[in-house]
Structure 1
Amino acid sequence: MKEITTEELQEQLKTGAVLHMIDVREDDEVAQGMIPGAIHIPLGELLGRLDEIDQAKSYIMICRSSGRSGRACEFLEDQGYDVTNMVGGMLDWHGEVK
């Protein structure tokens, strides 16, 4: 499984890189703040919302500590998606949130 640190992701965002991010946390967790530009698809809804994820794009998966995003990566990789897990999750995120 590919991984990216919170610091690496923050640097890429600062340089203006176009990134596709999916936050798989629950509603109450994302209400506390999400990385700007991320879309919210709770882990439990991922299977039913695959039509919202373009297989031609690469995605960075985000959750609280990187456990659920890791499971999301495993599932999506099995479906043929190009995904990267943000290790440390939002607990390690020190960048902007919205």
Structure 2
Amino acid sequence: MGIFNLLFGNKSKKIQDFKSRNAVILDVRSKSEYESGAIPGSKHIPLQQVASKINEIKKWDKPIITCCASGMRSASAATILKSNGVEAMNGGGWFSLSKKL
């Protein structure tokens, strides 16, 4: 196992695990960013609204893969979701994530 996998885990493997369990892709970028290009079928909730929409997200009853432009906002969103009992992971930048799906 390489040092990268030791430090960060196998992200692609985790993405595939989430995907196999019908994960929802949650894009947390701004509305204009999302409208300029996004993963087909993804849901959009800007980062600033994630905490207030926890109950809605929990009703999806699926694991969540968060994404944004670079991975910073999606990391924050995944942390918020996890702290509220939602199974979530940071998928990173949406364009990079789209290639792993």
Place the TM-score, normalised by the shorter chain, in its bin. Answer: 0.7 to 0.9
Q: In structure 1, what is the equivalent of residue 63 of structure 2? A: 58
Tell me, yes or no, if structure 1 residue 79 matches structure 2 residue 84.
yes
Q: Confirm or deny: 8 A CA contact 2:26 2:45 kept in the other structure.
A: yes
Q: CA deviation at 1:31?
A: 1.1
Q: Deviations over 1:44-82 (max 9, x none)?
A: 011221122126321000100010000111111111110
- Supply the distance in 2 between the matched residues of 1:39 and 1:94 (Cα, whole angstroms): 14
In structure 1, stretches of 5+ residues that fail to align are none
1:68 alignment partner AA:
R
Q: How many residues end up aligned between the 2 structures?
A: 87
Which of the pair has more CA radius of gyration?
A: 2
After superposition, the CA RMSD in angstroms is 2.7
Higher relative contact order (CA 8 A, sep 6+): 1
SS of residue matched to 1:62? strand
Q: CA deviation at 1:93?
A: 4.8
With over 3 angstroms needed to count, the CA separation of the structure-2 counterparts of 1:81 and 1:3, relative to structure 1, is farther
Q: Give the % identical residues.
A: 29
Q: CA deviation at 1:27?
A: 0.6
1:52 alignment partner AA:
E
With over 3 angstroms needed to count, the CA separation of the structure-2 counterparts of 1:59 and 1:93, relative to structure 1, is closer
TM norm structure 1: 0.72
Which of structure 1's runs of 4+ aligned residues deviate more than 2 A? Answer: 1-5, 16-19, 90-95
In structure 2, stretches of 5+ residues that fail to align are 1-7
